[in-house]
Chains A and B, each alone.
Chain A
């Protein structure tokens, strides 16, 4: 090689440890690990997931069944005995006024419902939105107009009214086509409506992003080596979309948890004696004067979960974006 080229790479001494090619996923993981807040949020989320999965085991273990009525924990008016809503060894977070059901037990079971709806809703809306958005952005013309119109129409619907109005007939329809009756059918309905109205935002975001990315020269560069469409989509485009997808997913997940709560509050979705955070919140509002702790517990829990997801989402977004890396390699 010639002199000029040699001169310029003086920094590259041969004694250095051999450089290995790290995958972008590995580099992202390293960046995530360095973000303390994100890592702790991940722990919190994992904790909730753990509780949700093992709720039946845990409640049996600690003898805090969410369904057992405990009259002895209530006074004559049906209010919990003792301070803070009846906190005691038997009932670590107190009992439900009127029934005496254990709040910790109900909270644990509620986490199952909230997280299930949150995760499934997010996975389905995100993948539907991502697919339709990419399709619209990549296939201009007819496919694009079709998807864009569909999105506009969906947004034009008064969604909440529709969700309330369609609750009964659609749940019954679900049951008639073989979805197990009762709370399972109601949950399916919630996930269904979340998806029908939720994909639009994701799809629009992705479409806009794809439209601008496809004009970038690195796409043409890949084409000049003979890249297949699969390579262009999965290796060139998708890595540039992950940040958006992750932000969207981590924001919509706590959103769906909250939507489940509000729908249960409105009487759509699960019904007591089933436990969900929405049912608990709706119920506790009736007692907030005599038993404020009851309102506080599901409220604060919901808040912690939502915050943990958002902080974790921030961390993930920074991790997949190489530009956020402030540390010198």
Chain B
């Protein structure tokens, strides 16, 4: 069976530092640089990476909010990369997005009910009569009081707002939802509630998720598959069970060691601290992009860019010296 969403070799370069004189860009940010991945129906793909590695850009590409420079997006067997007009309009029902910032992603002048009803109004999926009913159903589904229909975003807490955003993304009954750091802006205690809600929704409604986060601990429970991104590229990807048990890429290992895990005595890993900043994506390091912070870097890392290679257990890793356990 072919996957629900399959993307191949996505590239998005942003022009930066436009020179006033020549009206020509002086540099390029390679925000997403050759990303390929796939998501099965009803499953969750976690995407993890530090700030600025291109996660949000990828999310916007997947939801067709920005056009990609090259590569292809295939949803449900249909190539939607270049789709426009009525065709795109129809596809939008199937793929929805949840944003990171619950304060910015809800129109402050619209009531909760109106916010959730908007997708249905634009797509004309329900009649005016059923609209209020459906909105209340959705409010209830995400654990909000349907009586709060007429309340405005500022009358809700951050977690409640994120629930409104989730209800809105569910309004069109999508097949897949891209959640761009849906819990990063929330309190730790509320993060768990929202994660549970998303898990419950996935179980009950069978929606696939692309779940973006900046650390591995958040996606640990929810993801069936994880992809680790560094400077616009995927450096390691595979089933989360295998990756969490046995990371081979130094960057994944470093991220992993930052994950607090309750383990006893001898099994405790030594904590790897990443030194230095993420290099500028305008001028990424030659060869392996991680080499400036990698403690295993050799000469070859500078000269040759490692490809994503099958590690032998169904996962892929982009490193010249992967640590594959026997």
Contacts and interface: CB of A to CB of B under 8 A. Distances in A.
Interface stretch (B148-156, B219-227, B277-285): B148-156
Interface in B105-122: 105-111, 113-114, 117-119, 122
Given A19-B147, A322-B152, A323-B154, A217 B65 contact: no
Interface string A16-55: 1001111010010000000000000000000000000000
Interface stretch (B7-15, B25-33, B93-101): B93-101
Interface string A211-223: 0000011101111
Interface string B154-189: 110000000001001000100000000000000000
B143 A9 contact: yes
B152 A218 contact: no
Contacts of B105: 216-218, 220-221
Binding site secondary structure of chain A? helix
A25 to B, nearest CB: 11
B102 to A, nearest CB: 9
B88 interface: yes
A273 interface: no
A169 interface: no
Contacts of A323: 108, 152, 154
Nearest to B122: A225
Given A220-B99, A323-B108, A20 B89 contact: no
Nearest to A221: B105
**Interface bin, chain B:** 35 or more
B52 interface: no
A221 B147 contact: no
Given A24-B110, A322-B109, A322-B154, A225 B146 contact: no
Chain A CB within 10 Å, residue with most, of B97, B111, B143, B168: B143
B146 A12 contact: yes
B311 interface: no
A329 interface: yes
Contacts, number: 126
B197 A24 contact: no
Contacts of A229: none
A10 to B, nearest CB: 9
B122 A227 contact: yes
A201 B110 CA distance: 27
Given A21-B114, A225-B122, A218 B143 contact: no
B196 interface: yes
**Interface bin, chain A:** 35 or more
Contacts of A220: 60, 65, 97, 99, 105
Chain B CB within 10 Å, residue with most, of A4, A12, A225, A231: A225
A19 B146 contact: yes
A225 B123 contact: yes
A225 B107 CA distance: 14
Nearest to A218: B107
Nearest to A3: B200
Given A21-B150, A225-B122, A12 B140 contact: yes
Nearest to A225: B119
Contacts of A5: 140-143, 197, 200
A216 B102 CA distance: 11
B113 A21 contact: yes
Interface string A109-138: 000000000000000000000000000000
A9 B106 contact: no
A21 B60 contact: no
B114 A12 contact: no
Given A220-B60, A226-B92, A239 B141 contact: no
Given A226-B92, A226-B122, A2 B200 contact: yes
Contacts of A156: none
A208 to B, nearest CB: 17
Contacts of B131: 21
A4 B197 contact: yes
B109 to A, nearest CB: 4
Contacts of B240: none
A27 B197 contact: no
Contact of B200 (A4, A24, A239): A4
13 contacts: A1-B140, A8-B193, A9-B146, A12-B146, A19-B149, A19-B150, A21-B117, A27-B111, A217-B100, A217-B101, A218-B104, A224-B63, A226-B89
Given A239-B109, A329-B155, 5 more contacts: A19-B150, A27-B111, A221-B99, A225-B96, A226-B122
Task: Across the A-B interface, give the 10 residue pairs with the lowest CB-CB distance, nearest first.
Answer: A8-B143, A239-B109, A322-B152, A225-B119, A217-B105, A12-B145, A218-B107, A217-B104, A226-B89, A226-B92
